[in-house]
Amino acid sequence: MALTRTSHTRDDYSAAAPSDIRQRNRTAVLRAIYPNVWCSRAELSRITGMSKVSTSDVVAELIQDGLVTEGGYQNSPKPGKPALLVGFNARSMNVASVDISEADGMRGIVTDLAGDVLERDQEPIVEHMPLRTTQVVEFCERLVARAHAPVLGVAVATPGTVDEREGVVLAAPNLGWTDVELAALLRDRLGLEATVANDADCALFAERCFAQGSENMMLVQVAKGLGAAMLIGGNVVQGADHAAGEIGHVVVDDDGPQCVCGKRGCLETLVSTPVLERRIAQEPGHRDDVVADAGAILGRALAMPVAMSNISEVIVAGPEDVVDDGMARVVRDTINDMVRSRFIGAVNVRRSQLGADAAALGAVAFVMRDQLRIL
């Protein structure tokens, strides 16, 4: 799996206690070699700006932890003993990740630290509304038991608004949850670090980390409703109420259909899976027109936030029967027609390539960001 590194603006290295310096040095070495760069200790010293002695100490510590491994020797035209290369050991630890955003059940994966899936499992959600947290915790527990290596952390991708720093699901109407302290529950029960994040944020971060997504990117998820997530300068935007990206209930047509929220013409009354599937069933001969109309509505709705944030890439995710390349093209053309100017270049719009694992993979990437600071 191809990986790209995200920006490193998240860290604040200003307070330099000894433990911080140690962590900073470990992070610098891991970032230099993640996911598959092999280099000598001397090269690492040059890349990180650390002294040769510090570099050797940190590398020795990381080798002891299993995160770094020694490989072959460097080909060098210079005489003398060739330098031994070190690289990242992606198999040294695993991450267990669960996506609970799908209506039909929970989807779980166990991956290595490169995001390669080693194990997968699924479990139907028996008792909806509210979903029992013990069902999620026990599913995570079973995944952890199937890990091939020590587990760095567990992660859950959930629908709804989430305080991702605290791991609290603030409101997830589809699960019947309010203020569920899921990360704390997982930590207590499993004795492992836990990350809980919104499913669209996860899918977005997966595109960034595992599919060469841009640092300034938006992901729109066409599902039962419509949600979005945004990455600015490599950081997932959370917003004042942890609700950034909740664009489904923004009115785009004053005379539009009545929405469940009480308003008329919300974006998701015009662009969502059930609405589009119903329209296609009504006009089977005009499927492409239905999808193109939806793409144009979506493109117009996204033009302003795209320009406002100077987003360079938009990813449209959703079931293939409605979200196809044709829709992505119409979204792209609509946005570019509306936004392009001498200040703003062409915006790239594409469909998600990560399939059904996207949210769970993004949750894995959040664990690596939080625990190793390498993404």
Binding site for Zn ion (CB under 5 A): 249, 259, 261, 263, 266
Q: How far is the CB of 257 from Zn ion (least distance, A)?
A: 10
Q: How far is the CB of 90 from Zn ion (least distance, A)?
A: 43
- Between residues 129 and 261, which has the closer beta carbon with respect to Zn ion? 261
Q: How far is the CB of 266 from Zn ion (least distance, A)?
A: 3
For residues 184 and 217, what is the distance between their CA atoms, to the nearest angstrom? Answer: 30
Looking only at the bridges linking them, the beta strands covering 217-222 and 226-232 are: antiparallel
- Between residues 263 and 287, which has the closer beta carbon with respect to Zn ion? 263
- Between residues 207 and 246, which has the closer beta carbon with respect to Zn ion? 246
For residues 335 and 307, what is the distance between their CA atoms, to the nearest angstrom? Answer: 9
Biggest CA–CA distance in the chain, Å, is 79
Helices 52-65 and 41-48: crossing angle in degrees, nearest 10, is 110
Q: How far is the CB of 248 from Zn ion (least distance, A)?
A: 7
Q: How far is the CB of 177 from Zn ion (least distance, A)?
A: 20
Q: How far is the CB of 258 from Zn ion (least distance, A)?
A: 9
- Between residues 184 and 251, which has the closer beta carbon with respect to Zn ion? 251
Looking only at the bridges linking them, the beta strands covering 168-172 and 106-112 are: unpaired
- Between residues 120 and 224, which has the closer beta carbon with respect to Zn ion? 224
- Between residues 108 and 159, which has the closer beta carbon with respect to Zn ion? 159
| Beta-bridge partners for 106 | 123
Q: How far is the CB of 286 from Zn ion (least distance, A)?
A: 26
Environment class of 262 (CB within 10 Å of its CB; exposed 0-12, middle 13-18, buried 19+) = exposed
- Between residues 261 and 346, which has the closer beta carbon with respect to Zn ion? 261
- Between residues 87 and 305, which has the closer beta carbon with respect to Zn ion? 305
- Between residues 251 and 338, which has the closer beta carbon with respect to Zn ion? 251
Q: How far is the CB of 249 from Zn ion (least distance, A)?
A: 4
Q: How far is the CB of 212 from Zn ion (least distance, A)?
A: 34
Looking only at the bridges linking them, the beta strands covering 313-317 and 348-351 are: parallel
Contacts of 293 by beta carbon, 8 Å cutoff, 6+ apart: none
| Beta-bridge partners for 218 | 230, 314
